[in-house]
Structure 1
């Protein structure tokens, strides 16, 4: 009997464990994938940027809002959630941080005014899993809605780019979440939605069984590549040729830029608050409504 990389000959190949973010990291840049998921010790990433702080707070408030009693589901109640969960990291100065705390309160209040608060979500930041013959994918969904007996996947977006229906249609994570949610809840789940909180834009797509199957096959194909390069890295380490950089304008935002000479050549690094300056074009309000009406 022979043993190769911990697997006995004749035994089934273990499922490849992955998350949608891991799969996409490989597609974006093999070098970043290696540094983020394989290198040990892991290279030090740059400090968190301000737009990431804004995104985390927005997601946390939209999760915690549903735990509030009805009497506290007001603009002031939302503002208190924002204040309590605020992450003061990456901002240019205290004034910018305070200004964006107000903007987040205002945008979340406006978003919540336009949803049905009588319809409690089926899940909030709910983990779903999907297993096939070759992969085991797990991910966390921002929100799962129950609409007429079917499950709908909702993913919040907070950046300056307003998502399109094509973004919802082509999104690999959304499709995997839908396939996983259908199996977890044993209900149909084919509709996926991207909710851009600052503008209340909803980009949606209705999958078919066939289109979801194609997305799952895409994930299996990527995972097959990762199984190969992970094994090569285990054997050769950083000498492996399978992790070339993929230089692009995104390199100016990369968390591992300091460890990648090719990425550094793509231009000066963006400031920690550059994403907020770009997001001003999204039309975020500067102050929250002070009335005590429901959001």
Structure 2
């Protein structure tokens, strides 16, 4: 007799687990994605980069600062935390190390004085996740990741991402950021509150780039993530079956190859641009 309401011949497709960082890496350069996540043994990399050192120090200091009660989030405490977390990897020399140690203390102290000392923080490097897809009734992705900071403002959540790069950011950068959009979707599912606002806080300049998402714009980011994740899984499956790694995960030469950490293992990257120095991507100190 026919079984009503059940289809025992169809196996449900497993969810594709992704993070915003993985999706972005594949979109930028499939070869870099393969070398980072799939190749074993791991390819040769460059040494440390000074801008990554500064970024890590600033993130660690702000994480500890915003874990404190609001009354203790002072510029002086912020500067002290930078000093406690300071590292010197990737800099040109001791003079440059000293200059950026002082600059980072000033940047973080000024940021705390003008932005967010009274923030109602509900998450610091909070792990958030959500099942999403272009068809809400049949999600295809498990999106997860760690957001720098999640605030509560007026009953809604706001995703905050710290940046320490060479240039200040614009609202369009926040709107285009797939990572921030996916964090907003995951934050609302994890913390059970509305979330449509995302912000990029550029600490060296104290500027804030803002995007107010709608269900439509969030859906567009989810669909794009779904396309990328599907392509990534298909390429990885074919690689496991013996496919050509360079064909399945091609290089995308671009100026950014100058500072790619996998440049030593990528002939196309070496040809694309002259090698950057480890301190070339630091933000200006003045």
Report the TM-score when normalising by structure 2.
Answer: 0.90
| Matched residue, 2:104 | 104
Equivalent in 180, 185, 208 of residue 179 of structure 1: 185
CA distance in structure 1 between the partners assigned to 2:226 and 2:170 by the alignment = 26
TM-score calculated relative to the size of structure 1: 0.87
The residue aligned with 2:5 is none
Matched ranges for 1:64-213 at <5 A: 64-68=64-68, 73-132=73-132, 133-213=139-219
Contact 1:232 1:240 in 2 (8 A): no
Distance (whole Å) between structure 1 residues aligned to residue 22 and residue 153 of structure 2 = 30
Matched, 1:215 2:218: no
Closer, same or farther: CA 221–86 of 1 in aligned 2, 3 Å: same
CA distance in 2, matches of 1:170, 1:59: 22
* Contact 2:30/2:250, CA 8 A, preserved across alignment: yes
Distance in 2, Cα, partners of 1:28 & 1:74: 39
The 8 Å contact of residues 70 and 118 in structure 2, kept in 1 or not, is answered as no
Do the aligned residues in 2 keep the contact of 1:128 with 1:181 (CA within 8 Å)?
A: yes
CA contact (8 A) 2:79 2:108 kept: no
SS in 1 for 2:211: strand
Determine if contact 1:66/1:120 at 8 Å carries over to the other structure: no
CA distance, structure 1, for counterparts of residue 51 and residue 189 of structure 2:
34
Distance 1:115 1:176 in 2: 24
Q: Distance in 2 between matches of 1:208 and 1:114?
A: 28
The answer for the alignment partner of 1:290 in structure 2 is: none
Are 2:155 and 2:193, in contact at CA under 8 Å, matched by a contact in 1? yes
The number of equivalent residue pairs is 272
Structure 1 segment 3-42 matched on structure 2, within 5 A: 10-42=10-42
Runs (5+) with no aligned partner, structure 1: 1-8, 286-295
* Deviation (angstroms), 1:74: 3.6
- The 2-side partners of 1:267 and 1:207 are apart by 36
**Residues 107 and 198 in structure 1, CA contact (< 8 A), matched pair in contact too:** yes
Match of 1:4 in 2: none
RMSD: 1.7
- Relative contact order: is structure 1 or structure 2 higher (C-alpha 8 Å, sep ≥ 6)? 1
Displaced runs of 4+ in structure 1, greater than 6 A? none
Distance of aligned partners of 1:236 and 1:96 in 2 relative to their CA distance in 1, 3 Å threshold: same
